[in-house]
Amino acid sequence: MNVTELFFASYRHQITELQNNLTLIGDESLQQAIDILMNCKGKVACTGMGKSGLIAQKLAATFSSTGTPAFFLHPGESLHGDLGALQKDDVVLCLAKSGESDEVVQMLQVVQKMGNRIISILGNAESRAGRMSDVIIMAKVSREADPLNLAPTASTTVSLVVGDALASALAELRGFKPENFALYHPAGQLGKRLLLNVEDLLVLDHGIPVVGQDASMKELLETVTKPNLGGAMITDASGKLIGIVTDGDIRRSILRFGNVLEQSIASVMTASPLRIKKGSRAIDALHMMEERKSPINVLPVVDDEDHPIGLLRLHDLVRAGL
């Protein structure tokens, strides 16, 4: 076999093991596990030794970020005081291939005495860990995916997929929505896209760049220049937005009229400009500005009565990581 053939052989083997294990997962045990986790009033303590422990750490993070509070409990450290983190309403989710690791078995013996429910994702249902489990979800493989059949590869893949599928099912049952996910991931791009509103990105250090329609061109230019936001919004007598004058509008007016100071605001402004209401998501503003035949660099933000509250810049949207 050449190098790529070795890669694809291992890859295909893990897919095969996943498909084979699917037939070993019983509906009754799966339903029991989901019922226990859905009714858990505490947290899910994910545990495992070695490579199974690494998968358990990942699953604890996945459960937590999808609406099921969880943490990782190291079997070895649990025997030296860390079992104190386990509270009476917590559920233990144990991952193991053989189910015979001394640290795992000793920990589960204490967990049984504490009265916590134990769900195990196991490769061996007849193991000591299996006999102490309230529910077993199978994660069994015929062999690992490495040439020596020694390194945890296919077995950890199956355990990971089983755990992720559990987390996904629970998230759906809990009605977990993108907004909830974003709340737990505020620094990520998805969090920003779902949580940031247009008001969050307004630059108001020099006030709102707005002038009335009867103002002079000198007043308009001062309003555009002072905050340096790239434009100014034009309002009628009632304070409602009726137009916008951008840096581009001013340049075009100079080319057209020469002495722009002699012109009226109405002659240089863009009437009935595109706008977005306060409370709207910043990502929606970005789409409005970019998904046009001619993209725009500034976008008025208005309140429910169409009064301008700020001018949003494309630059600030991009800088926010949207």
Q: Residues marked as binding for Zn(2+)?
A: 74
Helices within the chain (DSSP H only): 3-22, 27-38, 50-65, 75-78, 102-114, 128-131, 154-173, 178-184, 189-195, 217-225, 247-257, 265-268, 282-290, 314-319
**What CA–CA distance (Å, rounded) separates 52 from 118?**
16
Contacts (Cβ under 8 Å, ≥6 apart) of 156: 51, 52, 54, 55
Alpha-carbon Rg for the chain in angstroms: 30
Name the nearest CA neighbour of 209 among 199, 223, 220: 223
Q: How is residue 94 annotated by DSSP? A: E
Task: Answer whether 95's CB lies under 8 Å from 60's CB.
Answer: no
In a 13 Å sphere around the CA of 2, the CA atoms on its Cβ side amount to 1
Burial class (CB in 10 A: 0-12, 13-18, 19+), 35: exposed
β-bridge mates for residue 243, sequence order = 234, 271
Is the separation of the CB atoms in 233 and 261 below 8 Å? no
Distance CA 255, CA 252 (A): 5
Helix (H) or strand (E) holding 311: strand 308-313
* Binding-site residues: 74
Question: Residues 265, 271, 272, 278: is their CA dihedral positive or negative?
Answer: negative
